[in-house]
Amino acid sequence: MWRATHVGRGWFHLSDSSSAGRGLDKAELRGKPAEMAMPEVLIELAAGADTVPTH
Chain length of the chain: 55
Nearest to residue 11, comparing CAs of 40, 47, 43, 42?
A: 42
Domain ranges of the chain: 2-47
pLDDT value of residue 36: 92
Q: What pLDDT score was predicted for residue 4?
A: 52
pTM: 0.65
Q: 28: burial class by Cβ within 10 Å (0-12, 13-18, 19+)?
A: exposed
| DSSP states along 6-41 | HHTT--EEEEHHHHHHTT--HHHHTTSSEEEE-HHH
Q: What is the mean pLDDT of each run of 10 residues along the chain (55 residues)?
A: 58 87 88 88 89 73
